């Protein structure tokens, strides 16, 4: 086999219900076409995980540059993510009697997903790599679509990344996805009643949001987005959310738009139910406040015919 395999996985925006995906809840999310990760697989004599020239930087002009880099970017690049999904993939195939052909490959990756913005940059790299492995070993038809988000999550858990399934489901299926999450984390059950009841309400926002979208009740949908952020703020507090994150939401609300975190903070998603005139007000307000606006481009579902055949009929 000499063919190069390449897959792209997109950033994810949590539209409603997060962070209840970590706490036994419901969410609505969509894949964001503006930002993505690409993984390329090329057959090779040895199995090679190729470091990225920027994200996996190991050469510096001075110790000061090294320290500055670590303070701004952290210790983490994409190599560890590629290694983790290779391990999880091989283990799953062994446990499920899926025979893998012989042969090696080299994995390369690139990404333009901004770091620390809650747009699921890490899971996008893992998702794209998993798709490459499925095609290289020709086992796409043997590993169901429903299984793949858990494989991606398992790879991240290998690295100590705490997360829910929201990101991985959106990145596997594409498009706008409503999902109900299994009980993957029960620590919250030991908390006070306010936290428990509030998280249940956050989860129910996604259920209500799904109905609002189907009924084309966009005013109601905007109210739910704002309520999602308000509940998160009550539960976690302003110190945990951060002043800049709160300021971004506040600027959007001043022009009558709805806003909430895309994920865990660093960026927000804004919904303007009144249309272009409200968008113009938002652009002016953000410019004055020093914030950058990126118009949302939603990715449609990218499951192919082989993927669709693996879906459960229920």
List residues with catalytic annotation.
167
Choose among 20, 158, 188, 141: nearest CA to 86: 158
Tell me how far apart the alpha carbons of residues 163 and 186 are, in angstroms, rounded to a whole number.
13
Residue 111, SS3 per DSSP: strand
The 3-state DSSP composition of the chain as helix, strand, coil percent (nearest 5) reads 50, 20, 35
Choose among 140, 136, 142: nearest CA to 96: 142
Residues facing 31 on adjacent strands: 12
Tell me how far apart the alpha carbons of residues 183 and 14 are, in angstroms, rounded to a whole number.
19
Tell me how far apart the alpha carbons of residues 126 and 108 are, in angstroms, rounded to a whole number.
12
For residues 245 and 268, is the Cβ–Cβ distance under 8 A?
yes
List b or e across 220-242, with b for residues whose CB sees 16 or more CB atoms inside 10 angstroms: ebbbbbbbbbebbbebeeeeebe
DSSP symbols for 214-237:
HTT-HHHHHHHHHHHHHHHHHHH-
- Residue spans of beta strands (DSSP E) within 45-162: 48-49, 104-111
């Amino acid at each position: 086999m000499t063919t190069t395999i390449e897959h792209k996985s997109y950033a994810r925006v949590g539209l409603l219900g997060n962070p209840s995906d970590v706490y036994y809840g419901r969410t609505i999310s969509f894949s964001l076409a503006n930002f993505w990760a690409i993984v390329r697989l090329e057959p090779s004599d040895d199995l090679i995980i190729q470091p990225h020239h920027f994200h996996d930087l190991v050469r510096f002009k001075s110790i000061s540059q090294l320290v500055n880099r670590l303070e701004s970017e952290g210790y983490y690049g994409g190599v560890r993510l590629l290694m983790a999904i290779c391990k999880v993939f091989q283990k799953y195939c062994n446990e499920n009697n899926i025979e893998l052909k012989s042969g090696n490959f080299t994995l390369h990756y690139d990404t333009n997903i901004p770091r620390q913005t809650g747009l699921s940059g890490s899971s996008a790299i893992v998702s794209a790599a998993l798709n490459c492995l499925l095609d290289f070993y020709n086992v796409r038809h043997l590993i169901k679509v429903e299984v793949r988000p858990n494989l991606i999550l398992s790879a991240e858990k290998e690295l100590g990344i705490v997360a829910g399934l929201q990101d991985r489901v959106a990145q596997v299926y594409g498009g706008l996805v409503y999902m109900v999450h299994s009980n993957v984390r029960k620590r919250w059950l030991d908390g006070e009643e306010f936290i428990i009841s509030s998280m249940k309400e956050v989860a129910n926002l996604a259920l209500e949001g799904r109905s609002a979208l189907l009924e084309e009740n966009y005013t109601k949908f905007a109210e739910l987005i704002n309520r999602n952020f308000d509940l998160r703020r009550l539960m976690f507090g302003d110190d945990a959310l951060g002043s800049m994150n709160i300021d971004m939401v506040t600027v959007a609300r001043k022009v009558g738009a709805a806003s909430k975190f895309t994920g865990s903070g660093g960026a927000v998603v804004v919904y303007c139910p009144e249309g272009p005139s409200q968008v113009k007000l938002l652009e002016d307000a953000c410019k004055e406040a020093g914030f950058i606006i990126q118009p949302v481009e939603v990715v449609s579902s990218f499951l192919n015919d082989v993927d669709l055949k693996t879906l459960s009929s229920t």
